[in-house]
Structure 1
């Protein structure tokens, strides 16, 4: 009895099986070659890291905001958020983040940074982990008494007239600075609704 042929392809089951086996073997070979290349790059970290490091020109090309500390805690949080966005776009690694971020400081904030760098050494300052740098900035520019003032403002925030946009923007700013007052999500919704006028 002749081998059965597939009506759609005109190939026998044996031919299809041979073709599938060949394609699987090719895919396995390609995967193994890729693994070998990755392993070689891992053994030579300088090759792998060349592609991942961003440079100052690429960072500045993303137009990061400067920070002078004049807009209070909300300004600080917005600056940190913008920097993190720029880090993602410019593919800036953790090693360069603090170094590049410190170049966006102005006025008294630059003086604060220079004082910090002088006390610990510039190399140590530049190698501060990003999360630690953020904590230093928050401790410096968001003292507890300022956070308490913002919490009180959030607690008493109410819609003035019909400026829903202004109310919503200020609510979001305060919620960002006072997360414990609006977590979990239902608290955020309740607090937002509480500040609206009755007719809304």
Structure 2
């Protein structure tokens, strides 16, 4: 006989079973829902990626039909008037051409895959002969795959040989101001300094070499330790050049003292030698 309490083992067991079933059903629904959501996300992402790829294919196809290409066209490249190189075996001319042509690449946003084709189109004379021979040597396929850096290596080896660079270094150390204008001698100094990087590792050394290169008329009014940059001492040299010209105009200094002619100096030396050889003054022709 029941006393009113829920102590019936059958009822208790049924209740527990319901709770267990409800919990398991909940877990099943939750797991199914999670998997369902993942499936939906995967399907949506797949559809989006497929649609994007289709759009890219359509855009690329339209570009091909309209002649549009990545980077600049050859016509746009040539519109910037890229420099021509004739094949001088001169490191200064050679590397200046490389710098100028690379500047055009940058300004026109040229694609790297076109560097070699566009750049070598500006070779003329001996430079073109060298390139034609190089193409035959490595083959058409290697030429198409060649990068600009791979082109520059043999190009510099042929047109900017080490022996010539060493000669420029010697000329840099021996460079002296002999009547040239400051702008002209400065240009010579800067060109040769590019190949003497191990001699001029800082601004102080640049100033030192520049100062020692100048003639006495300039050095006597300049103190290299006063200048912090090469640009400053160059500007002071220009100012001194203007002052020397004014002195010549005022008659305070002879033009020969400011801009001595190496040719005249050599002739004077030769005349002196002839007079000494004869042991007296030259004969009068009048």
Task: Tell whether the structures are fold-level matches, with TM greater than 0.5.
Answer: yes
Match of 1:155 in 2: 173
Q: Which of 1 and 2 has higher RCO (CA within 8 Å, sep 6+)?
A: 1
Q: Aligned in 2, Cα 1:62/1:181: closer, same or farther, shift over 3 Å? A: same
Of 82, 86, 93, the match for 2:100:
82
Q: Aligned Cα RMSD in Å?
A: 2.6
Report the Cα offset of residue 52 of structure 1: 4.4
Report the Cα offset of residue 51 of structure 1: 6.6
Match of 2:120 in 1: 102
Does 1:127 find its partner at 2:148?
no
Of 133, 141, 160, the match for 2:159:
141
Match of 1:186 in 2: 204
Report the Cα offset of residue 123 of structure 1: 3.2
| Number of residue pairs the alignment of both structures matches | 160
From the CA coordinates, give the structure whose radius of gyration is larger: 2
Match of 2:194 in 1: 176
Of 67, 75, 81, the match for 1:57:
75
Report the Cα offset of residue 179 of structure 1: 2.5
Report the Cα offset of residue 156 of structure 1: 0.3
Report the Cα offset of residue 100 of structure 1: 0.6
Gaps of 5+ in 2: 1-51, 61-67, 219-286
Report the Cα offset of residue 180 of structure 1: 2.4
Match of 1:91 in 2: 109
Report the Cα offset of residue 132 of structure 1: 2.4
Give the TM-score of the pair, scaled to structure 1: 0.71
List, as ranges, runs of 4+ consecutive aligned residues in structure 1 with deviation greater than 6 Å: none
Match of 1:73 in 2: 91
Does 1:117 find its partner at 2:135?
yes
Gaps of 5+ in 1: 1-39
Q: Distance in 2 between matches of 1:185 and 1:51?
A: 45
Q: Distance in 1 between matches of 2:139 and 2:109?
A: 26
